[in-house]
Amino acid sequence: MADSTFSQSKADLLVQSVTDYAIYMLDPQGIVRSWNPGAERLKGYSADEIIGQHFSRFYTEEERAAGVPDRALDKALNEGRYEAEGWRMRKDGSRFWANVVVDPIRDENGEHVGFAKITRDLTERREAEQALRRSEERFRLLVQGVTDYAIYMLDPLGYVSSWNAGAQRFKGYTAEEIIGKHFSNFYQPEDRDAGVPERALKTAETEGRFEAEGWRMRKDGTRFWASVVIDPIRDDDGHLLGFTKITRDLTERKHAQDALELSREQVYQAQKMEAIGQLTGGVAHDFNNILAAISGSIEIALRRIDAGQDPRQFLQNAMHGAKRGATLTQRLLSFARKQELELAPVDLVASIRDTAGLLERTIGPNVSLETRFPMRLPRVLADRAQFELALMNLIVNARDAMPDGGSIVLAIDCPPTAPGDGRFVRLKVIDEGEGMDDETLSRAIEPFFTTKGIGKGTGLGLSMVQGMAEQCGGRFVISSEPGRGTTAEIWLQVAEEEQQEDEQQLAAPANDVTPRPAAPSLRVLAVDDDAIVLLNTVTMLEDLGHAVTERHSGAEALAALEGEEFDLLLSDYAMPGMNGGELVRRAREIQPSINAAIVSGYADLPEGTALDVPRLAKPFTEDDLAQLIARLTAQRAAA
């Protein structure tokens, strides 16, 4: 009996020490018979205030009216336990959300003597759960209300597990039709065959996100351009639960971008055609000037011959003009292909003097040309032919800037430069013309920009001058003011001193004759589809003492090779049916020991052409042809 009393005392102490739970006793009718501190804290009543009162006062009026307290006791008595959650009332009238457990109490004889009631305040937990439910509901309503985006869930294998209104709007499937189906249904067949959907999920799983744009399929089979984002969903332990997939229909933007790109391409093509038209007209203008000089000189030479006078000066002028035409063609090809210049020490004064006659005839009678050269001048590193063409461009520009005539000054000096910049020679072309404003000056060197009007210049002159100067290691500077003329400066690096010593003048006088290499008479097969060019080539070869057979195509040449032995095949490259490269290869199959050379008007042979034969560039002189043959003959003898 003492142990029982001691145990009961410990139990009472335990109950009285609990403050987080209301633990109290009810008699069989529901009257409160005991009250612990936890009950006082949760419900607000002291023991004196509540013991002897019916426990139903803890219920709301609605529940008391509905008989909820009595049903709770009946259920506990009949079923052995009652548990529920609901609103309960405190002494001050406020409510709290309670978890309630009621157990019947019986004595040692099994007689019912009352109830044990345990109540816990779960208000904070309920509020958190309610807040979570409200948040989830708001999110659900938000997702369901979005119509511009397809927002849906996939399980780990890619099967659709949720579906919003936006997905239904632009994919065409209802939730009933698509939930449970694999999301690869939205991809094109070729994308499915290539494994694109599976790679998208794998990327999202391994990298934390997948994002892409591409064509997707609607239910009705039409396509739309989609922006797709896939994110993995994981639990607190990091296990993959599935994926969220957000898709946006960007078809209109895609069409707009495509239309803009097409418009840009059309503008680009129009600009390109305009540039080509301007270039074509300008080239025709420049070549017409050259052809006028050539034809005029030849016409005068013919009259001098008829009159028994010496025509050489005018024939030399015609040859000089032809060389200028060849140089212009090479420069245009160099501009297109970025061909490297052939740099060598150049005497600028000698070069200008050799072209003085052509320069004076180019500028006309109402423009004077004045030169200001120092007594001694170092040679510069340049490509002489390109320098002379650049000079011609600047002279023509200066002349065109003075439609009523005036004076052009050519001045050369050695300007001081900063330490480490090296030594330069500066050529200045100064005119008294109209000049340029700042806007025109800023665009003057742009390719295809010209102020001369349609068909009166290529628009490449100044850009060619700048390119030539920079490739030579120098620079091009232009300054101008409206009404005060223009000064164009070409700066060229001084050549190394050891390169200047004991060198001959680069430009021989026009009436000098270069010694022609001696060569034995050869049997030559000359091939060209242009009859005029072929006639000149054959004449030059015969004048050199060679026996020549002429043919106008590759097929004709092969027939000749089958029936006759030749020492040399000299073939044009660009011919219809069979080009010169193919002809050389087939000729060597017929006559393995034959020498061969290609004649071409290209600045370089087309890409992919690999020929181990020398090349003679059009136009060429008889001396050029003689030197080529001598070089081939020497190589044959050395072999």
For residue 243, what are the domain limits? 146-249
Does residue 52 belong to any structural domain of this protein?
Answer: yes
333 pLDDT higher than 80: no
Residue 68: its H or E element: helix 68-79
Q: pLDDT digit string (tens) for 622-634?
A: 888 888 898 888 8
Does residue 41 belong to any structural domain of this protein?
Answer: yes
Bigger pLDDT: 596 vs 257: 596
Say which range, 216-220, 417-421, 585-589, has the weakest mean pLDDT. Answer: 417-421
Does residue 254 belong to any structural domain of this protein?
Answer: no
The enclosing domain of 88 has a CATH number of 3.30.450.20
The residue from 249, 275, 292 where one domain ends is 249
Residue 338 has a pLDDT of 46
User: Do residues 22 and 3 lie in contact, with contact meaning Cβ atoms separated by under 8 Å?
Assistant: no
Same domain as 534, residue 496: no
Residue 420 has a pLDDT of 60
Report residue 577 as tokens.
């049916």
Q: pLDDT digit string (tens) for 117-171?
A: 999 988 888 887 777 777 666 656 555 656 678 888 899 999 998 888 888 888 8
Does residue 262 belong to any structural domain of this protein?
Answer: no
Burial 520-537 (b: 16+ CB within 10 A, else e): eebebbbbbbeeebbeeb
Q: 3-class DSSP state for residue 158?
A: coil
* Average of per-residue pLDDT across 208-235: 90
Does residue 513 belong to any structural domain of this protein?
Answer: no
Bigger pLDDT: 502 vs 195: 195
* Average of per-residue pLDDT across 11-37: 80
Residue 385 has a pLDDT of 80
14 pLDDT higher than 70: no
User: Do residues 363 and 369 lie in contact, with contact meaning Cβ atoms separated by under 8 Å?
Assistant: yes
Same domain as 395, residue 484: yes
Residue 608 has a pLDDT of 41
Bigger pLDDT: 551 vs 317: 551
* Average of per-residue pLDDT across 545-554: 93
Bigger pLDDT: 325 vs 198: 198
Same domain as 151, residue 245: yes
Does residue 628 belong to any structural domain of this protein?
Answer: yes
Other beta carbons less than 10 A from residue 329's beta carbon: 17
Residue 509 has a pLDDT of 42
Same domain as 494, residue 358: yes
Same domain as 103, residue 29: yes
How many independent structural domains does the chain possess? Answer: 4
Say which range, 7-11, 73-77, 99-103, 131-135, has the weakest mean pLDDT. Answer: 7-11
* Average of per-residue pLDDT across 375-401: 85
Bigger pLDDT: 312 vs 2: 312
Residue 421: its H or E element: none
* Average of per-residue pLDDT across 483-492: 90
Residue 395's closest CA among 472, 461, 444, 474? 461
0.85 cut: is pTM over it? Answer: no
Same domain as 529, residue 494: no
User: Do residues 88 and 56 lie in contact, with contact meaning Cβ atoms separated by under 8 Å?
Assistant: no
Does residue 255 belong to any structural domain of this protein?
Answer: no
User: What distance lies between CA 498 and its chain's CA centroid?
Assistant: 47
410 pLDDT higher than 80: yes
Q: Mean pLDDT over all residues of the chain?
A: 81
Q: pLDDT digit string (tens) for 456-469?
A: 444 556 777 887 88
Report residue 638 as tokens.
């050395």
Return the amino acid letter for 487: T
The residue from 193, 214, 249 where one domain ends is 249
Same domain as 487, residue 345: yes
Same domain as 208, residue 75: no
Say which range, 109-123, 162-176, 274-288, 384-398, has the weakest mean pLDDT. Answer: 274-288
* Sign of the alpha-carbon torsion through 263, 265, 271, 274: negative
The residue from 69, 88, 122 where one domain ends is 122
Residue 68 has a pLDDT of 92
Does residue 1 belong to any structural domain of this protein?
Answer: no
Residue 468 has a pLDDT of 80
Same domain as 210, residue 111: no
* Average of per-residue pLDDT across 271-285: 57
Same domain as 199, residue 110: no
Same domain as 116, residue 215: no
Same domain as 527, residue 496: no
Residue 506 has a pLDDT of 38
